[in-house]
Copies of this chain bind each other. A is one copy, B any other.
Amino acid sequence: MECDCVKLSAMGKPVNTRPSPQLAAGGGPVEKAMELLEVLAEPGGPHRLAAIARRTGLAKPTVHRHLRTLAEFGFAEPTEDGAYRAGPRLLGLAATALHTTDAVRHAQPYLADLRTRTGQLAYFAVRDGRETVCIALSEAPRGHRTTLYPGARAPLHAAAPGLALLSALPDAELDAFLDSGPHPALTPHTRVERAALAETVGEATESGYAVDEEFEEQDTVGVAAAVHDADGRLRGALALRGLAFTLDPTSVALYGPMVRAAARALSAELGARAGALDLVRGQR
């Protein structure tokens, strides 16, 4: 979830004789359209216009106009009763994006491998601001019900992938993050204080993999390692997730290095991609 505090409205407009002010509403139409898309993709079936208007803080006519535009292009699809759902164009775009993003494509085999070797749910997540988003996962065998689905988000500071990404950050950025705002506790185990968080991240840096000991959800443990490409740019994290009594400390100690190795191999592949491009270019 995003809060509305993203406005920032760069250039400080001095005197703003604006008769209809307050609620931070808008920047450009593009930003609004993006918010709408995000709402459309959200769970909860088709959304009604008024509901969307409330959720986004936009005026009804504005939402209406944009939805019409989106619908016209197939990004939204109106239902019989005047609600809107994600349209075919958006779904197609979604499918294409997930399939063609190199990180996802290359991660897939590792996910499958990790899953079969550990029996746990394996997934790949990318960073989005102060959270991570799961964008690929390999279901654990036989209804190993964990509450994780594609698109699921978790705070950077309170789950394995986030911690792994933090541990791979330059010191300056890590400090900046640690200093930024309070880090809410999701469970009684969540590390919320700066020192504790820093220590947890530090351990991840040393071992090469991060461990989530019920930080995000009770009885749920995770292991993750960061993935980067040739430029050293962070691309995401490979992670395992399972119930605490299955992913006990012994298993974690066993699987951690496996996840780390997978992340390194994947990183190498992503680095190679640039080379592959050159190859293609040089080839017939």
Contacts and interface: CB of A to CB of B under 8 A. Distances in A.
Interface of A: 6, 27-31, 33-34, 37-38, 40-45, 66, 69-70, 73-75, 79-80, 85-102, 104, 126-129, 133-136, 149-151, 153, 231, 233, 273, 277
Total copies of the chain: 2
B38 A93 contact: yes
17 contacts: A33-B34, A38-B93, A79-B233, A80-B231, A85-B101, A88-B133, A89-B128, A89-B133, A90-B97, A91-B97, A92-B126, A92-B133, A92-B153, A94-B94, A95-B150, A97-B151, A99-B149
Nearest to A10: B72
B151 A42 contact: no
Given A91-B133, A95-B150, A100 B43 contact: yes
Given A33-B33, A70-B30, A231-B80, A98 B93 contact: no
Contacts of A149: 99
Contact of A98 (B28, B98, B100, B129): B98
A41 B97 contact: yes
Most buried by B among A90, A92, A101: A92
B34 A75 contact: yes
Nearest to A137: B95
Contacts of A92: 126, 128, 133, 135, 151, 153
